[in-house]
Each structure stands twice: as structure tokens, then as C-alpha cells.
Amino acid sequence: MKPVLVSYMNRIAIVCVVLLLGVGPSAFGKEVWTVSKLLNQIANHKGFIYNYTETKYMSFFQDPMQSKGILVFRNPDFLQKQVTHPSYDNFKIIGDKLIISRQDKPKREVLLSNYPELLALAESLRATLSGKQDTLKKYYSVKLRGSRSSWQLTLTPTDIDLVEIIEFVEIRGKNEFLQQVTIKEVGGDKSVLKLLVDIENQKQQKQQKPSRKKPVEGKKNHSALLNALQYGLVAHLPLALSR
Amino acid sequence: MIALRYWYLAGWLLILLLAAIWIAGSLQVNSDLSQFLPQDNSLHNRLLKKAIGSSPTTGTLMLSLQGSSPTVLAKVNKRLAAKLRARAKQEHTLIEEVLNGELKFSQKHKAFVLRYHWLLNPNLSEQTFTTAHMRQKMSDLLQAMQSPVPLYDKSTVTVDPLASIKELVSSWFDQARPGRYRGVWFSQDKSLSLIFVQSKSSGVNINASQALIKTIQSDFEKIQTEFPDVKLVMSGVGYYAVVIRDKIRSDITRLSIAAGLFVCFLLFYVYRGFAPMLFGIMPLLTAIIAGTIAVMLVFGQIFGITMAFGITLIGVTIDYPIHFFTHIHKSSTPKKAIVGIWPTLRLGVLTTIVGFTAMLLAGFEGLKQLAVFAIIGLLAAALVTRWLLPIVISETQKFNMPAHLLRFSNRSIQLLGKTPWLVALVSLITLAWIISQDNLTDYDVKKLTPLTASQKQTDRRLRDIIGTTNTRHVIVINANNVEQALQRSEALTAQLNLLVNDKVIGGYDMAARYLPSLKTQGQRLALIPQRAELEARFKMALQGLPFRYQSFSGFIDSLEAVKQQPLLDYQSALRSPLQWKVETLLHQHETGWMALVLLRRVKDYPALLSWGSKQHVDGMKLLDLRQESTDAMATYVNEAIRLLAWGTVIILTILLIGLRSIKDTLRVVLPIAAALILTIGFWLLSGVKLNMFHLISLLLVVGIGLDYVLFFIRKTSSEDHRLDFLAVWICNITTVVVFGLLFFSFPLVLQAVGGTVAVGALAAFIASASVAEKVNGEKSES
């Protein structure tokens, strides 16, 4: 009887251990570690400051090109990319404006709402950092893999204009921090953005607010060409009416 | 005899009926209002009008969506555009193209730009292909690549790393274009979202425009069920043409019914019977039908406004049977009555017709039609009144005019007869006041536009958004051929850019901007270095930069290809996406070519004028379109006045012959002059300056006045005379009421006519009554 009982208890114990070690945690994780959970966690932060290293793998480059800089995000819609190497360039996205400043050139401004595909692309990073699931889902189908300590968010464009340019955007991270953003373009080119939280810089940045100077004269993007051509066709509707 | 009478009546009615059926079957009504404006004799204006009128852009409808949030508007915009685009693909469609700012770059457009951008780019210079410049451009590209979103066109970067395409496109505008939100065109404040629908037909084709508008509206209504807040507002030449036509139609219908009911009622009331009512209207019906047929035979079609206008003008033919019926009484059979009044009636009709003959010489197609309509109508009415009416009216037909009417009309006229000095005094004072006024006339055509203030505002707003306001200033460049026209335009470019910089003008548009002259293209071609040289320089330029030289072989090849292919000539441009621009801005005419330079947002007109006078480009002329058309109108009116002067001489001659007395002629002329003075005074006092249509209507006042005064002064028995008074009195009420109705109609043109004639007829009545033959009232009974 006794050995039987023991072996019975053992079996229960084994089952319990198995449950605890294997099925249990995984079932627990699946239930809780969702896109919403991830985004909520990220959104708890008022902002992020990352040091980044970007590598662009482009067919027209001799070798992959590296650049470095700082990436600043502040809730809800301020995203700044400050390039420090190889040149000094500053790109800020505030709301639907992209403001470009370079030491020796006049400031330029691009209205992203005029170029939906660019806005959509910018949202891949910005909406993720602000935890806006609705915005993300407007432009992408969103898939999450991995665990809290090592997750991978894959954004596949659904926006009709973006599909023509971007194959997917893949974001990897740990807890609420992003570690790597890969943008795979249609045609094979890709860029990889490696991110490291910069705590020291984060303190500094907190003290000095990023400048929000008034934007200067607009700057046209390549897709202005299309607008131009279309517009050109109707540009001077006749004065006949006034005659 | 009775049988014969009925045969005549039946025959007459049958002819009218058949004619009406024929008209209904083959009536070609043209609603083009512009035909009512002067046809200019100067080559410039004729061409301008043709250029502007026939431009494919008249077929463009501007749709604006409003009344909801920008996000919803953008959604509705995309859906409506998609529906319309689907229709554009169907057969038998009216839609040529749908533009709403969405980035749908057709392969045709792209191929064209890639093929020709080196030749078309105005920024191409000796600098362009230097090592230093190319290096700079490649560094710029590198910088643009650091942006979080791509700022360069990935699909063309390897064939156009110097961003020549971008430069070309920027050069195509010097002005604001509609902004975009969520990929579609919006106004600055995001309250309006825009779609442009280009029709396959021109906007002047009203039926096509109407069908297109219906299609758009039904597509929109389907979408609107989901978004009930969103409103669709349309604008554009075609849209307004339809609106105006519908409005004129409904106005005319309403007016005709009102006027017809009134006339019938009056005839019934005065002559106490259905037969007089019917017979009273028959000459008018005959006149309308005869006039319409005459115009259709002579001109092939009839303008809607000619009909409207013409029917009112010959509305005075109702006077003829009134004169006739009034004189039928116990001792005067119909035949006797007509013979009695015929000489006077004939003189009145003839002089009126002479007045309209002056209009026959007018420069307006519309007015010529009107003259034919009126002359034939008046003749027909007079003839049937003289020869047919007396036959079909029974000898025993009673016209029982109420006695109180006779008494009242006689008393009022006798009262007026005591006041010639008062009429003369008021007229002289008015004349003096008129002479003291500076501006009597205003020939600004724009003020005749039958659009309502809100429609004009919508149009202005939409034009503002797309940046086409103030296109009234134009430079015309005449040349022998396309190349010369383009070269001459190019010679102006530098100067025009200065004007833009100095903020004299907001911008300009010309064919040469899109299609450079072959000479300029050749010069640009010569700037491209030999292949080996170019390769060497480009390699140098890339040194130290991460780019792979081989990736840009497309760039080198494209420059090589430009050298092999022909330049972009006029014929090829017509088959390219530039077609519209080239067609609208460059026109061929009998003696050569004309290039238009449209000046936008002229801010400093005097500076522009002084600039224009300093330019010495051959064949160039700076025009103010609005001024031009106003001048044209003034020229036309001056010509019309000259014609009228001749008309007056003829009228006077006829009067002298008819009356055989200078004194009587003066008695006729002076009251009419007084009536004209008082009518002009009326308009000026109410703050309205006279336009051409007022002047034309004065002609009708002359005709009506002649009619009145001739009857007032004719030598006849007192009995007849008292009947004359009654007849004129009734005629006057008819005219004042019918034209008064016209005054409340919608097109300004008809308002001007209605007001002038109503006031003029009243003034003519008062003035001519003041010189009427004295009738010895009750005492003359014996």
C-alpha cells in the first residue's frame, strides 16, 4: 500500500513540477504578455533618450554605412533624431511636421500629413514609443513574439502607400526598452538602428527642453512631384467664368 | 359668310398648332450666355476669348467636401474619387480624369519625366556637371538618408542622383498649391477637401455637364448615407452654366404664367367675354411662333435668353388687338374699326420695327437674334390684327367695355393733359441733373454675371485655394510659329521673376515653363559633357563618399540617352502629360501663334503697367482682361448709339411723311424724349449705372411711346378719341405689369430690361398724355 501511495504522491508531485516548470509559466505568459501589455508598459514612461548606432545596407553603398547619434522621444508626439556622426544633422518630428536643421543650411519643414506613407513610417517608431496601439494598427498588422525580457514586434504595412516602399519594420526590446529597429524596404535594402538607453543624457535632457522654434519655409519631398503633376494639370482653371 | 369665318379661324389655329409642333420637334435652345456679350473685332480679344472658352479646363468641375472633421472629409474624398475613377474606366464615360492629390503616379507620367527632365529643368547650367557640384549633391543625398523618414525618391535615385526631377517639379510652381492632409487636397484651414473632375467635354456643353453633375451627385449621395454631415459643393464653368440655365428656365416659366394669367384676366375684365380674350391673345401667339421660326431659320438655333427676352419684347403686340377691340362698338363694326385705327397703328409698328432694325446691326449674335425675333414677331402680329382678326371676329361680337373704365381713363388723361408744363419742367430738371452726373454708364461685363453672391464667393474661395485668383491680367505674345512664341516667352522669364521677387505679382504661368523652346533645349543638351568626361568627374565626385559608382550607371546612361533622342517638340508635348498646359497657354490662329502668360495675384498694378511699357519683346502686349471686355462693351455701345442716331433720323423721316406736319412731329418727339430722360433719371437716382441692356431697352420705350403718342394726337372724332384714350390706358397697364414682373426675375440682364421698360412705359404714358388732343369731355357727346 505504502509504496503505492508514495508513488501516487510522487506522480502528483511530478505533475505539479512539470506544470510549474513548463506548461504553467508558458500558459501564464501567453495570457498576459500581449501587444497591449507591452505598449502600456512602454507608455508608462514620459520619454526615452537612446544612444543609437544605425547601419544602412543599401545596394548603392560600397559598404554598409554607419552613423551615430541620439534618439529622443517625449510623450505623446515628439521624436528627435540627432545625428552626431558622420555629420551633424537634426531631425525633429512634432505632430505631423518634420523639421530638418543642419549647421550650415536653413531650417526646412515638411508636412508629413501631405505624405501619408512617410507619416505611417514615422508612426512605426513614434506610436510604439507612445504606446498608441490604435495608431499602429491603422497602418500595420502587428505581431508580437518572445517574452517580456526579450520581445520582438513585427509591423507589416497595411497602408496602401506604405506597402509600396516598406516590407516590414521589426522592433526588438527588453521590458519597456527598445534595443533594435530594423526597417526592411521593398527591393532588399534595409537599415538597422541599435538603441542603448543613455541614462546620463536622459538627466541632461530633462533639464533643457528641446527647442520648439517656429518652423521656416516649407520643403518639398519627392512625392511633391506627383502632387505637382496632378496639380499642374488643373493649375489654371479658366478665367472664362469671369468673362 | 359665317362658315367662311370659322374656316379662317380653324385654318389659323391649325397653322399655329402645326408650327408649334414643328418648333417643339426641332427647337435647338442654346443657353450660352456669353453669346450675349459683344463679339470683339480685335484679333487679340477674339483669340483670347477662343483660347479661354475652348480651353479644356472649362470642362473641369471643382468639388469641395465640407461640414465634417478633416479625417472624415479625407475618407469621403478618397471614396468618392475612387468611385469616379472607376467610372472613368468605363466606356461611354464623361469623366476624363479625377484628381484629388492622391499619389497615383501613372507610368506614363513617370516615363515622360525620366526621359525629358534634363531638357526641361531650368536649373541646368555649366555648374551642374562639375565635380564639385555633383559632390555637393551626393553629400546632400547622404544627409537626406539620415532622416527618420526617407526624403528622397528611392525609385529614381540611381538614375537621378542630382535630384534634377525634383528641381524641375519645383520650377513648375511659383505659388501655393492646395495643401494635403491624409494624402488628399485640402484648404489651408482643413475645412474643405477638394476633388477636380475633368470632363471629356467642354464646360460650355451644358447637357454633358448636367449629366456629369448628376453622376457625381448620385455617387456622393451613396457615400453620404454613411457620413450625413458631409456636404458637397460644386463649382466650375460647367456647373454654373447648368445652374444658370435651370434658374432661367424656372424663372421664365413662372413669369410667363404670371404674365399670361394677368393679360387674360385683363382682356376678360375689359371686354367681358371669352371670345375677346381668345382673339386678344392670338396675335401674340402668332408673333411668338413666327419670331421663333424666323430665328431658327436664319440662325439654325435660338438662345434661351432670346426666347425669354423676345417674348417679353413682342408682349407689346397685345396692344394691337386692344386698340382694335376698344374701337368696336354699336356704330363701328370690326372692319370699320380696324380701318379707322390702321394708319396710326401702322405708323407705330413701322417706327418700332425701325428701332429694332438698329439692333440687327449689333455685334452680338444674341441681339441679332433678338432683333429678328422682334421684327418678324411685330410684323406678324400687326398683319394678323389687320387682315385676319377682322375676318374671324363676328360682326355681331359684343365688346362691352365697362362704362366706368371709359370715364376713368378719360378723366385721368384729361387731368394729365393739363400738365404739359409740369412734365416739361420735371424733365428739364432731370436732364440737367443727369448732365451734371459724372458716370452715366458702367459697361463692366462682370456685373452682368447671373451668379448669386454666394456662388461667386464659393468660386472665389476654391480658386483661392488652388491659387488661380486674379487671372484678369495677361501678357499676350504673338509670333509666327511655336518656336518663336516660346523663345519670346523665355525672353521675358528673367524679368517676370524679378516682378515676383519685388512682389508686384504673385506668380505667372506660361507655356515655355513646361515646354522650353528647341533653342533652349539645345543649349541644355550642349551642357552635358562627353560620356568619358562625365564618368571621370562623377567618379571623382564620389571619392570619400560611401556610394558605389556602378550603382549609378543609369544616371550616366540617361544623360547619354538624352543626346541620342530628339528634343521635345510641340507635337510630342501634345501627347505628353504636359498637353493641357501647352494647349491652354499656346494657341494657333490664322496668322500665326499666340502664347499667353497668365499673371497671378497682381498686387501692384501701376508698377506692372510701367514694367510693361518698358519691355521690348516683339509681339508682346500686356492686357487687363476685365478692362478689355469693358472697353469692348463701351466700343460696342458707342457703335450702338451711332446706329441708334441713324435709326432716329429714319424714325423722324417716317413720322414727317406719316404726319405731314413739323408741329405734330415735335408733339410726338418731345414726350418721348421726356420719357427717356425720366427713365434714365430713375436708374441713376436708384444708384444703378446704365449698362448696354438698359440702353437697348430704351429702344423699346421709344417704340411704346410712339404707339401711345400717335394715338393721343391723331385727328379723329371725339368719340374715337375717347376710345383711343381707353385703349392706350389698357395697353399701358399691360406693359407696366408684364415688364414689372420681369424686373423681379433673376438674371440681371432681364431685370435691367424689365425695369427700364416698365418705368419707361409709365413715363411715356404720362408724357404723351400731356400733349394729347383735347376732347371736350361730356359736352362733346352731341
Residues B437-466: pLDDT tens digits?
A: 877 777 766 666 666 777 777 777 776 676
Torsion over CA: A93, A94, A98, A101 (sign): negative
3-class DSSP assignment, residue B624: strand
pLDDT of A165: 85
B39: left (phi over 0), alpha (psi -120 to 50) or beta: beta
* pLDDT score of B590: 77
Pairing state of beta strands B29-30 and B302-303? parallel
With CB atoms and an 8 Å threshold, state whether A62 touches B548.
Answer: yes
Kindly tell me if the per-residue pLDDT of A236 is higher than 60: no
Contacts made by residues A90-96, CB under 8 angstroms, sequence distance 24+: A91/B146, A91/B147, A91/B148, A92/A210, A93/A122, A93/A126, A93/B148, A93/B149, A94/A212
Q: Which residues of B touch A134 (CB under 8 A)?
A: none
To 5 degrees, how large is the angle CA B432–CA B438–CA B440?
85
Among chain A residues, the shortest Cα distance to B470 is held by A239
Nearest-angstrom CA–CA distance, B411 and B770: 12
Type of residue numbered B29? V
Q: What angle do CA B604, B608, B612 make, to 5 degrees?
A: 175
CA distances from B361 to B308, B369, B653, B654 (A): 21, 11, 20, 20
List, as own/partner pairs, every contact residues B448-455 make where C-beta atoms lie below 8 angstroms and the sequence separation is at least 24, other chains included. B448/B37, B448/B691, B448/B693, B448/B748, B448/B749, B449/A241, B449/A242, B449/B748, B450/B33, B450/B244, B450/B247, B450/B248, B450/B746, B450/B747, B450/B748, B450/B749, B451/B240, B451/B243, B451/B244, B455/B235, B455/B240, B455/B243
Pairwise CA distance, residues A204 & A47, whole Å: 13
Between residues B557 and A224, the one the model is more confident about: B557
C-alpha distance from A18 to closest chain B C-alpha (Å): 47
SS3 call for A82: strand
**Nearest residue of B to residue A63 by CA position?**
B546
The answer to whether residues B486 and B593 touch, using CB atoms and an 8 Å cutoff, is no
Per-residue pLDDT at B317: 87
Strand partners, B303: B30
Q: What is the pLDDT of residues A60-84, one digit of tens each?
A: 898 898 999 999 998 888 999 999 8
CB B703 within 8 A of CB B647: no
d(CA B33, CA B529): 57
Q: Determine, for residues B146 and A81 on separate chains, whether the beta-carbon distance falls below 8 Å.
A: yes
* Banded model confidence at residue B470, pLDDT cuts 50, 70, 90: very low
Alpha carbons B196 and B186: distance in angstroms, whole number: 12
Tell which residue, A145, A181, A153, has the closest CA to residue A50.
Answer: A181
In this predicted structure, the answer to whether residue A238 has a pLDDT above a threshold of 80 is: no
Which residues, 6 or more positions from B445, have their beta carbon under 8 angstroms from its beta carbon?
Answer: A243, B37, B626, B629, B630, B633
Residue A65 bridge partners (DSSP): A56
Which pLDDT value is given to residue B751?
83
Please name the residue of chain B whose CA is at the shortest distance from the CA of residue A114.
B180
- Tens of pLDDT, residues B361-389: 766 677 788 889 999 999 999 999 999 99
Helices (H) and strands (E) counted in chain B, each on its own, are 30, 13
Q: DSSP secondary structure string, B468-503?
A: ---TTEEEEEEESSHHHHHHHHHHHHHHHHHHHHTT
Which of residues 21 through 80 in chain A touch B, CB cutoff 8 A?
Answer: 54, 56, 58-63, 65, 67, 79
pLDDT of residue A229: 42
Whether residues A91 and B153 touch (CB distance < 8 A) is answered with: no
Q: Which residues of A touch B53 (CB under 8 A)?
A: 238, 240, 243
Task: Name the more confident of B65 and B179.
Answer: B65
Q: Nearest CA to B169 among B120, B125, B216, B235?
A: B120
pLDDT of B32 strictly over 50: yes
Contacts of B468 in chain A (CB under 8 A): 235-237, 239
Nearest-Cα residue of chain B relative to residue A54: B146
Tens digit of each residue's pLDDT (9 = 90 or more) over B714-750: 888 888 888 888 999 999 998 899 888 888 776 677 7
Q: Given CB atoms, is A237 within the 8 Å cutoff of chain B?
A: yes
Question: What percent of chain A is helix, strand and coil (3-state, nearest 5)?
Answer: 40, 40, 25
Which residues partner with B593 through β-bridges? B479, B588
Note the pLDDT of residue A14.
54
Task: State the angle between helix axes of B164-171 and B107-120 in degrees (0 to 180), rounded to the nearest 10.
Answer: 90
Residue A12 has pLDDT above 70, yes or no: no
Name the residue among A65, A110, A238 with its Cβ closest to that of B237: A238
Q: pLDDT tens-digit profile of B118-143? A: 999 988 998 999 999 999 999 888 88
C-alpha cell at B686: 436708384
Q: How many CB atoms lie within 10 A of CB A156?
A: 17
Segment 127-166 of chain A within 8 Å of chain B by CB: 161, 165
Which of A162-171, A208-217, B476-485 is predicted with the least confidence, judged by mean pLDDT?
Answer: A208-217
Closest residue in A to B99 (Cα) is A230
Mean pLDDT, chain B, rounded, equals 83
- CA dihedral (B142, B144, B149, B153) in degrees, to 10, reads -90
For B87, counting Cβ atoms within 10 Å of its Cβ (0-12 exposed, 13-18 middle, 19+ buried), the class is middle
For residue B648, which of B697, B691, B703, B694 has the smallest C-alpha distance?
B703
Establish if A192 touches chain B: CB-CB under 8 angstroms.
Answer: no
Determine how many CB atoms are found less than 10 A away from the CB of residue B189.
9
Instruction: Judge: B446–A242 Cβ closer than 8 Å, yes or no.
Output: yes
